[in-house]
Amino acid sequence: MKFIHYLETITGVDIFGLSSLTIFFTFFVGMTIWVMTSDKKSLDKINHLPLDN
Amino acid sequence: MQVEKFYYDNRIVKQFAFATILWGVVGMLAGLLIAVQIYLPAANFGLPFTTFGRVRPVHTNAVIFAFVGNGMFMGVYYSLQRLCKARMFNDTLSKIHFWGWQLIIVLAAVTLLAGYTSGKEYAELEWPIDILIALIWIVFGINMFGTIIKRREKHLYVAIWFFIATWITVTMLHVVNSFELPFSWLKSYSFYAGVQDALVQWWYGHNAVAFFLTTPYLGIMYYFLPKAANRPVYSYRLSIIHFWALIFLYIWAGPHHLLYTALPDWAQSLGTVFSIMLIAPSWGGMLNGLFTLRGAWDKVREDPILKFMVVAITCYGMSTFEGPMLSIKSVNAITHFTDWTIAHVHVGALGWNGFLTFSILYWLIPRIYNTPLYSKKLATNHFWIGTIGIILYTIPMYWAGFTQALMWKQFTAEGTLKFQFLETVTHIIPMYITRSIGGVLYLSGVFIMVYNIYKTVKAGSLVADEAAEAPALESQAQEAHTEKHNKLYWHRWIEARPIQMLLFSLVAVAIGGILELVPTFLIKSNIPTIAAVKPYTPLELQGRDIYIREGCYLCHSQMVRPFRDEVARYGEYSKAGEFVYDHPFQWGSKRTGPDLARVGGKYPDSWHFNHMQDPQSMSPGSIMPSYTWLYENKIDTAITPAKIRAMITLGVPYAKGYDLQANADLIEQAKKIQTGLKAEKLEAGTNTEILALIAYLQRVGTDIKNAPKPTVAALTN
C-alpha cells in the first residue's frame, strides 16, 4: 500500500532524463523518415476523405 | 463493387449538441459568478454551496467535462460516422453514453456544491462518480472502436487517430490519478501523498488539458475545417507529424506546473525541456490549420463559421506558444500562482475550445436540420462580441498577474518587503472587474447563438437517420491486396488498423508517464524524510478535511518557493519531506490569498476565529468570504475512526488501534482550543467545525520548526 520507499536504492537518476530524450529523438527521427517516404498519391487520397462524404 | 445502403445517426449528434450548449451556459454562468465574487465578497451570499471555494470547481468541471466534453462527443459522433462510412456501432450504447454522461454532470454539480471533493484540481469528483466516469468512458470506447471496426472506409483519417489517442490516454490518466481509498460512501483519501500526489495530479492535470481539451478538438478541427473551407488539409504529412509528436511530447510536460516546488529537480527540468519541445508540433498543427485556408481567405471575410475557426486555431497557437514559455523557470517564477495562469487557460478555453465548438454548432445544426442557418448576421455579431469578450477577459488578467508578481517581489531600500499581500490584491481589483465585463460579453454572445440556433431548429426538421451508401470494406480488399507489394504496405500496418493505432498511442503516452512517475515512487532519496514531521492529530485531520471541503486550496497555496521574497513573506521554503502524510497534497496553483504553508503559529487562535467569521474585520479590504456555518456545524466524530483506519492503510504511522482512541484525543484538543478562545471572550460551540479548522491551520508547516538543528560536529564530518 505504501507508495514511498519501495526500493531503497536506485543510483543514477540522470538515466531517466537521458533515456527520455533518447527515446523521443529516435522516435521522432523514425517518424519523420516514415512520413517523408510515404507515397504522395495515397496521402492525397486520405487527405480528401472528409470531403468525400 | 457492391454498394451498401445505411443511415447516419444524427439524433445522437443533436443530443450532444444541445447538451454542449446547455452546459456551456451553466458553466459560464458559474464562471461569471465566481469572477464577481472575487471583487464582491457579498456575492458569496453567506451560504456554503454558493461560496467561491465550492462554485469554482463547478465552473471548471462544467466547462471542461460538460461543455467541452459534450462538444467533443458531438464532433466525434458526427465525423466518425462519416469518416468510417458507417452508422455508430450500437444505438443503445450511444444512448447509454449520452445519458450516462449527463448523469455524471448532474451528480458532479450536486456533490461539488455539497462539499464532496477529492481536493485535486480538475479531478475533484469523488470515488463513486470516478467509477461511473470510467464505466461510461468504456461504453464510449466500445461504441467508437465498434464503429471503426465495422467501417466501410479502409483508411483511418488523421482525425480518428486523435480520437483513439484521446480515448486511451484519458483512460490511463483517469485510472492512475483516481487511485483513492474510500472511507465513506462519498469520501476518500488519495492513495498518493505529498510530492507523489502532486506529480501524479499535475501529470493528470496537464494531460487533461492535452487529451481532453486539445487532442479531440484537433481531431475535430482536422475534419470540420476542411468541410467548412471545402478544401483538404494543407499538408497531410504535417498532420501525421503533428499527431505523433504531440501525443509523445505532451505526456512528459506535467512537472512544469510544479517548478520551484519541493518536486525533485530532475523531474522539473524534464518537464521544462519537453514543454519547450511541444512548440514544434503545436505550431505545426496551427499552421496546418491556417494554411488550409490558403486561397480561401476571401471566404473568411464573409463566413462567420470560418471566422470562428480562424480565431480558434490562432488561440490554439497562442496558448501553445505561451505554455512552453511559462515552463521556463525564470518566466514561471513570475507567472506561477498569479492571474497570468488564468489568462493563459482562458485563451485556450474561450478561444480554442469555445470558438471551435461554436463554429461546429453553426455548421452542423443547419445540416442535421436540413435548413439554412437562421441568421448569418447574428452569428457574425456573436463572433465579434465573443472576440471582444476574450480580449477584455485576458488582457486584464495578464496585466493583473504581471503586476501582482512584481509587487510580491518588490523590496524597499532597507531590504524589507514593500507591499503587504493584501495591497497586491486590492491593487488589481479594477482588472478583476474588467475581466468580469469580458465574461459578460462572451456569455452574451453565447445567448445570441442560443437564439440563432433555436430559430434554425424551429425552421427545419431533424434528419434523424441520414441516408448514405458506400461499398463494403470486403469488396475493397482486392485493391488493398495489390498495395501489399508496394512500399506503403508497412505504413498501413499502423495507419489503417485501429487496434495497432491504440497500442502504439498507448506506448507513446505510457513511456512518458512511466519514466516520469516511477522514479519518484521508487527512490527514497527523492523524498528525504524529516524525522520531526508527524501525522496529524484527529482534530487536525478533521480540520484538514474541512479545508479541502471548502476549497481553500483554490485561493491559498501551501508551497513556499525558494525565493527571497517568499521566504521573507511566508517563512522557510517548503521541503518534500514535509508532505509525506498529506493525502491529498494541498499545494494549490493560485494565490488569490496568501500562501499558508507556514501559517501555523503565525496568529493566535482568536485571530483565526474572528477571521473565518468576518475576514474584513481582521484584514480590512480582504476579498475572502466568511464561513459562518463552521461555527454551527458539529465535527462528524462518527467518521473519525474510519478516517484514521484509512490513513493507517495508506501508510501513515498511527499506532495500531489508534482509531478507537482518536475521538477522545479529538475532543480533548478541541476543548483546549475552546477554553483558550473563552479566555479571550470568544464563544465557540463544543466540537464545532471551526475548532478543527483552527487546529489544522495552527499545525500547517510547523513540524519542521521542531526538527533538530545540525550540530557543528555533524557539519564538519
User: Are A13 and B252 within 8 A, CB to CB?
Assistant: no
Mutant choice from B244, B263, B647 vs A, greatest count of A C-beta within 10 A: B244
Tell me the pLDDT band of B270, cut-offs 50, 70 and 90. Answer: confident
- Contact between B266 and A53 using a beta-carbon 8 Å cutoff: no
Does the beta-carbon distance from A7 to B523 stay under 8 Å?
A: yes
Q: What is the mean pLDDT of chain B?
A: 92
Question: In angstroms, what CA-CA distances link B282 with A38, B218, B241, B277, B310?
Answer: 22, 10, 10, 9, 15
Numbered residues of chain A with Cβ closer than 8 Å to any chain B Cβ: 1-10, 13-14, 16-17, 19-21, 23-24, 27-28, 31-32, 34-39, 42-51, 53
Q: Answer whether residue B514 shows pLDDT above 50.
A: yes
CB atoms near residue B59 (< 10 Å): 21
Report the alpha-carbon distance of residue B568 to residue B487 in Å, rounded: 65
State the pLDDT at residue A8: 39
Chain B closest-CA separation from residue A42 CA (Å)? 8
**In this complex, do B157 and A50 lie within 8 Å of one another by their Cβ atoms?**
yes
Q: A7-37 pLDDT, tens per residue? A: 334 455 567 667 777 877 888 888 888 888 8
A-chain CB neighbours of B491 within 8 Å are 34, 38
| CA–CA gap between residue B177 and residue B189 (Å, rounded) | 12
Compute φ and ψ for B125, nearest 5 degrees.
Answer: -65, 145
- Indicate yes or no: CB of B515 within 8 angstroms of CB of A16: yes
How many CB atoms neighbour CB B488 within 10 A? 17
Distance from CA of B514 to the nearest CA of A (A): 10
Chain A's closest residue to B467, CA to CA, is A53
State which residue of chain B sits closest to A31, comparing Cα positions: B241
pLDDT per position as a tens digit, B39-85 = 999 999 999 999 999 999 999 999 999 999 999 999 999 999 999 99
B491 and A20: CB-CB below 8 Å? Answer: no
| Interval B626-637 mean pLDDT | 96
- Segment (H or E) for B471: strand B465-471
Cβ contacts (< 8 Å) between A50 and chain B: which residues? Answer: 79, 82-83, 157, 159, 222-223, 226-227, 232
Q: Which residue has the higher pLDDT, B443 or B194?
A: B443
DSSP string, B346-393: HIIIIIIIIHHHHHHHHHHHHHHTTS--S-HHHHHHHHHHHHHHHHHH
Checking if the pLDDT of B516 tops 50, the result is: yes
pTM metric for this prediction: 0.92
B527: closest CA of chain A, how far (Å): 8
DSSP label at residue B657 = T
Bridge-partner residues for B634, per DSSP? B688
Per-residue pLDDT, averaged over B235-251, amounts to: 89
Average pLDDT over residues B162-182: 93
Structure confidence by residue, pLDDT tens digits, B121-149: 999 999 999 999 999 999 999 999 999 99
- pLDDT in the model for residue B533: 87
The question of ipTM being above 0.85 is answered as no
Q: Which of B180, B237, B469 to mutate to test the interface with A (most CBs of A within 10 A)?
A: B237
Chain B residues closer than 8 Å to A44 by CB: 232, 236
Question: To the nearest whole percent, how much of chain B has pLDDT over 70?
Answer: 94
pLDDT for position A9? 41
Are the C-beta atoms of B55 and B33 separated by less than 8 Å?
yes
Would you state the pLDDT for residue B267? Answer: 75
Q: What is the pLDDT of residues B447-483, one digit of tens each?
A: 999 999 999 999 999 999 999 999 887 766 555 555 5
Confidence of residue B708 (pLDDT cuts 50, 70, 90): low
